[in-house]
Amino acid sequence: MLVLVAPGQGAQTPGFLTPWLDLPGVEDRLRAWSAAIDLDLVHYGTKADEDAIRDTAVAQPLLVAASLVSARQLFPTAEDFSRLVGAAAGHSVGELAAAALTGVLPEEAAMGLVRKRGLAMAEAAAVTETGMSALLGGEQEIVLPHLEKLGLTPANVNGAGQIVAAGTAEQLAALAEDKPEGTRKVVALKVAGAFHTQHMAPAVAALEAAVTELAVADPRTAYVSNKDGRVVSSGQDVVQRLVGQVANPVRWDRCMETFKELGVTAIIEVAPGGTLVGLAKRALPGVKTLALKTPDNLDAARELIAEHAAPAE
């Protein structure tokens, strides 16, 4: 069974969209979305520097756009996606790409919502200097109490020995000086706030207002939620989870457990892929993985789809 996943904030790098613009229709689609959300996705995906694309209000729409245009190279229609993909999920903002690909939201609506999400989270992040750091290695029963002692939130429990802590700059500085026993490294992430914590509460209210205007459908493909790793069959439930998830931890560890229970044999991570495939390699041994980093990876992805997708009879 094939699972498709979409990456979250921090996966972006300067110029990562450049090779995708050479593919037919991609630039036109990006420019149409850019006009609709008042953000030049082509500029930010090709010419902007690292600081510019770290901005939450820029990074989030950029990532969802990249996920959608790269996925459509493999699954040109919604019918292709539902026929060939067994389940889909996204990490944090990647959940909006997964919602569009599984049919919960039209792509244009997902782009409009992620623009509002990014702006609301950037505004919330500006109130206090906050951030996130990844802890590599260490056991949860040791790491989690240590974070609590420092006043930090385990914002992403990613599995495979990785937990992301979020909090104020002072709290993260204290963590860098005093990492939990068994943790190999603490790495500051390229994000502009303490996402998935109480610091994002103001953004929840903004999104609650935004989703009332959306036309929502039930997912046509199994949608696995960050909240608890559950498969969610109601489109309205998916959307409410998207809203609440802004201020609550991402449980990617539980998402991967659900992939295993569903019988996953292969995972493709859409552009800009790499992070989630890395976690899967450690947490799901034996599962084939592929990251769409550039269009050069598309042929290998198509081979993986042919081998592992299970068309409905």
Q: How confident is the model at residue 313 (pLDDT cuts 50, 70, 90)?
A: very low
26-37 and 107-125 helices, crossing angle to 10°: 50
Average of per-residue pLDDT across 22-45: 98
CA dist., res. 251 & res. 234, Å (int): 19
pLDDT at site 149? 96
CA dist., res. 93 & res. 118, Å (int): 9
Q: Render pLDDT for 92-108 as a digit per residue (tens, 0 to 9).
A: 999 999 999 999 999 99
Q: What percent of the chain has pLDDT over 90?
A: 93
CA dist., res. 276 & res. 279, Å (int): 5
Place of tokens 């610091």: 199
The domain 2-125+198-308 belongs to what CATH superfamily?
A: Malonyl-Coenzyme A Acyl Carrier Protein, domain 2 (3.40.366.10)
Q: Render pLDDT for 213-247 as a digit per residue (tens, 0 to 9).
A: 899 999 999 999 999 999 999 999 999 999 999 99
Average of per-residue pLDDT across 63-74: 98
> What kind and span of H or E run contains 250?
none
Q: Render pLDDT for 173-203 as a digit per residue (tens, 0 to 9).
A: 999 999 999 999 999 987 878 999 999 999 9
> What kind and span of H or E run contains 296?
none
CA dist., res. 55 & res. 191, Å (int): 7
Q: Which residues contact 285 (CB under 8 A, 6 or more apart)?
A: none
Catalytic residue among 67, 92, 133, 225: 92
> What kind and span of H or E run contains 280?
helix 275-283
Phi/psi at 161 (nearest 5 deg)? Answer: 75, 25
User: Token pair for residue 279?
Assistant: 């976690």
pLDDT at site 89? 98
Among the listed ranges 61-65, 86-90, 107-111, 202-206, which one has the minimum average pLDDT value? 202-206
| 3-state secondary structure at position 14 | coil
Q: Say yes or no to pLDDT of 18 above 70.
A: yes
Q: Does CATH number 3.30.70.250 belong to domain 130-188?
A: yes
pLDDT at site 312? 41
Whole-prediction pTM value?
0.94
196 a catalytic residue? yes
70 a catalytic residue? no
Of the CA atoms within 13 Å of residue 156, those in its CB half-sphere come to: 27
pLDDT at site 160? 80
What radius of gyration do the chain's Cα atoms show?
A: 18
User: Token pair for residue 176?
Assistant: 């860098």
CA dist., res. 251 & res. 221, Å (int): 20
- The CA–CA distances, whole Å, from 58 to 12, 35, 65, 121 equal 10, 14, 11, 11
What ranges do the domains of the chain cover? 2-125+198-308, 130-188
pLDDT at site 311? 52
Catalytic residue among 91, 146, 196, 308: 196
pLDDT at site 189? 87
Instruction: Please answer whether residues 216 and 102 qualify as being in contact, where contact means their C-beta atoms are separated by less than 8 angstroms.
Output: no
| Burial per residue of 51-65, b for 16 or more beta-carbon CB atoms within 10 angstroms, e otherwise | eebbbbbbbbbbbbb
